[in-house]
Amino acid sequence: MTYSVALTAACLAAFANFAALHIPVYALIAIAGLVAALWLSLRTAPLRALDPDALWDAGFFAIIAAFVVSRALGFLLLFVIERGRLTLSFRDVLQFSSLSYLSLLVTGTAVVVWLRWKRLPILRVMDAWAPCAALLWSAISFAEASAGTSNGLPTRLPWGVRSAAGVRVHPVALYTAAAALVLCGALFSLLRRVSIPGRVAAFAMVAAGVIVFLFDMLRTPEQPFGHGLLDLSQWLALASILFGACLFTVAPAPEVR
């Protein structure tokens, strides 16, 4: 794992230099969240009878895959927008930093292939990664709050934050960060008590879907003048809840230790 640690540090440092081109605070908090999630995976791996080094390497692969896929899709999108122009600058590609839903899907597929190649049990890996993902989610949400993004609808509540337009709005990113941190603690506790593979991951998917669905009601709609019943993020939240419910029904009743 020593080689992986050194390689991880080098890649994260490079990512910090790239991201620092426009949002250094966001990048710093995001990197801290990645490191914390990887560190937590070393603690959750034994709770699912997994090799900590193997889980660390799988997490490192997931991070690199997410970075590469998002940049590749960003390049393709910019290429389409430019209508065939081949003069896209390297800085423009680096500035396309947000991970789209498509890039997450492609990354997830690559990670599943990696786990199958390394002969790691997917359900147990998902269980071990569940608290780590919640911790990373909390860090990313806190980073969004520090960058002044992901604020919500106007509010008169005393803890509302002032937006760029001078209106007090719901700090939805802070709400999400707090909820994800609580979820991380709950999932870690479940890992110590529930032994059925897939049950902790199922609970994580249902809980995360509920959190996203509810807090999205406090955000500005993605298409304020559209005719859609729900935003895309809410549909994906419902899909997460449904998938988690399917895991609950497939897995047998848990044995509490």
- Rg, C-alpha atoms of the chain: 19
pLDDT at 243: 92
**Helices (H) and strands (E) in the chain — how many of each?**
9, 2
Below-50 pLDDT ranges, the chain: 2-3, 5-6, 10, 13-22, 86-99, 225, 254-257
Q: Report how far apart the first and last C-alpha atoms of the chain are (Å, whole number).
A: 31
Q: What pLDDT was estimated at residue 253?
A: 54
Q: What is the pTM of this model?
A: 0.78
For the stretch 177-213, what's the b/e string if a residue is b when 16 or more beta carbons lie within 10 angstroms of its beta carbon? Answer: bebbbebbebbbebbeebbebbbbbbbbbbbbbbbbb
Length of the chain measured in residues:
257
